[in-house]
Chain A
Amino acid sequence: MFLKEYISDVYNGVTSLLKGMRKTGYYFFHPKEIITQQYPENRATLNLPERFRGEVVMTHDEHNEHACTGCTACELACPNGTIKIITKFDVTPEGKKKKAIDTFIYHLELCTMCNLCIVACPTDAIKMAQNFEHSVFDRNKLTKKLNLPGSKIREGVE
């Protein structure tokens, strides 16, 4: 009984080790599996993973309209104060006052790309872009205004 267990131990150990070696051996003999990208050379054909997060951007459609209601959910969700929203009051044609954003300030230098603001946004106004070449000579240039000049909220977004 003991001997049977012993032999099955050895057998299981050897087969599991061989399974691992088969996997790594497959990778060794199939260079097409290599995922390294030689970045500065392949800048034109760079192939980033779908979930790569580079910076927060606000999406605008062709009428220069966005979906941000100025609810500040993203500002509250941000763990390190990256986002600052300045609101204003628009007057609708009916003469009612309506809250809207004046400026969406985004401090790229503080952002950790944690994705919490995108999750928090109820109207999907902001999303993560894949641009990662952020180096500049002046850190003030990293403080960005995300809503385009003259943009306004899209009709029907509450």
Chain B
Amino acid sequence: MFSLEGITNAIQNWLYNTFNPSWALVFECLIVILLATGLFAILGLVLVLMERKVAAHIQIRLGPNRVGPGGMFQTVADTLKLIMKEGLTPDLADKFLFNLAPFVVMIVAMLLLAPIAFARGFQIWDLNIGVLYVSAISSLSVIGILMAGWASNNKYSLLGAMRSGAQIVSYELSAGLSVLSIVVLSGSLQLSDIIASQENGWWLFKGHIPVIISFVIFIIAVTAETNRAPFDLAEAESELTAGFHTEYSGMRFALFFLAEYINIFIVCAIGATLFLGGWMPLHIGHWQAFNHIMDYIPSSIWFMGKTFFLIFLIMWFRWTFPRLRVDQLLNLEWKYLLPISMFNLILVTVIAILGWHF
């Protein structure tokens, strides 16, 4: 059976047998950097195309269909265009911050990649506080956005950045609380432990209605955290032209654009890991035959399938719902999501203590 774990182990053994340990570590780091960059490039191309196609079909259109078969190379052509464009810096902008901001946003997205388990035994860094690490780092992206908005010396950019700040600060609470419900159930912050605890069923099915509620809250909160419609107040193209990245062009704009899609991928990967069992195949209780058949599908395909299902769900939201006003956005968080998720956390804790879950 195909397994990424065997490949990684073989490479690691070969490196440690051929070189001394410190050089082997350096080579491993280089391989990881190469893989991460390659993943980012491919994800950027695939997700943008997917978004455009999903948007088109939801709006009864065809979408890009001229470049390559079925419009497959549309995003490649767009990227080539962006590479060749001039990256303009406005005259009165704070040059250092202005040029730094897209890289801050990108680096935050890259840091978030570390604890994600892409397949069985295929994980960059299985640190023991994985969930805490993810929720801590994901809030750093607002610094890049604020930096971009402030340095642009443009009132629309600043307004967009400020909105983004308010949004991320408030929505992090309910995202964190809904993640906590899974931590309570599985009793560990380590992502590999959380995945292992879902061997006999995903938490979404094992945890009854409270976990379903926290899954819904998690999806709403991460949609807001990644600044996507219906919570795209930071960009709000009808009000603020493009919000914090109004003044960016060329490859620096492309980095913001890429970071947005990478962030979607990462939050969906986290969601898939916590609620849908990560790379764990679909197992139902004691159906031995069924479980064995499911085991034959490689774990990487399970992970990608779940992640892309969640990404599709978030795209579906984007092309269905109208954008919220700022006061509605904060109402939703502070009056509805936060109280509900707090109450929900108590329910989940009771379930976990009394062992009512399967």
A interface residues, Cβ below 8 angstroms from B:
9-10, 17, 20-21, 23-25, 27-28, 31, 33-36, 38
Per DSSP, chain A at the interface is helix
Partner of A27, one of B57, B65, B336: B57
Partner of B59, one of A27, A31, A38: A27
Q: Which residues of B contact A20 (CB under 8 A)?
A: 320-321
Within the complex, the shortest CB–CB distance from B209 to chain A, in Å, comes to 13
Q: Is residue B294 within 8 Å, beta carbon to beta carbon, of the partner chain?
A: no
Q: Which residues of A contact B320 (CB under 8 A)?
A: 17, 20-21, 23-24
Q: Which residues of A contact B60 (CB under 8 A)?
A: 27, 33-36
Q: Is residue B58 within 8 Å, beta carbon to beta carbon, of the partner chain?
A: yes
Q: Is residue B340 within 8 Å, beta carbon to beta carbon, of the partner chain?
A: yes
B-side interface size class = 10 to 19
Give 23 pairs: A residue, B residue, CB < 8 Å, sorted on A. A10-B340, A17-B320, A17-B321, A21-B320, A23-B320, A24-B58, A24-B319, A25-B316, A27-B57, A27-B58, A27-B59, A27-B60, A28-B54, A28-B57, A28-B316, A31-B57, A33-B60, A34-B60, A34-B61, A35-B61, A36-B60, A36-B62, A38-B65
7 cross-chain pairs, A with B, having the tightest CB-CB distances, nearest first: A36-B62, A24-B320, A24-B58, A28-B57, A20-B320, A28-B58, A36-B61
Within the complex, the shortest CB–CB distance from A91 to chain B, in Å, comes to 59
Contact B340 A34 (CB under 8 A): no
Within the complex, the shortest CB–CB distance from A17 to chain B, in Å, comes to 7
A13 nearest in chain B by CB position: B336
Please report the C-alpha to C-alpha distance between residue A9 and residue B340 in the assembled complex, in whole angstroms: 13
Q: Which residues of B contact A24 (CB under 8 A)?
A: 58, 316, 319-320
Contact A34 B62 (CB under 8 A): yes
Please report the C-alpha to C-alpha distance between residue A35 and residue B59 in the assembled complex, in whole angstroms: 9
Please report the C-alpha to C-alpha distance between residue A27 and residue B316 in the assembled complex, in whole angstroms: 11
From A10, A23, A28, A31, residue with most partner B Cβ within 10 Å: A28
User: Which B residues between 59 and 73 are near A, CB-CB below 8 angstroms?
Assistant: 59-62, 65
Q: Which residues of B contact A27 (CB under 8 A)?
A: 57-60
Known: A10-B336, A21-B316, A24-B316. A34 touches B57 (CB 8 A): yes
Q: Which residues of A contact B58 (CB under 8 A)?
A: 24-25, 27-28
A9 nearest in chain B by CB position: B336
A29 nearest in chain B by CB position: B57
From A33, A34, A38, residue with most partner B Cβ within 10 Å: A34
Q: Which residues of B contact A21 (CB under 8 A)?
A: 316-317, 320
Please report the C-alpha to C-alpha distance between residue A10 and residue B340 in the assembled complex, in whole angstroms: 10
Within the complex, the shortest CB–CB distance from A53 to chain B, in Å, comes to 22
Q: Which residues of B contact A33 (CB under 8 A)?
A: 60
Q: Which residues of A contact B319 (CB under 8 A)?
A: 24
Please report the C-alpha to C-alpha distance between residue A31 and residue B340 in the assembled complex, in whole angstroms: 38
Within the complex, the shortest CB–CB distance from A33 to chain B, in Å, comes to 5
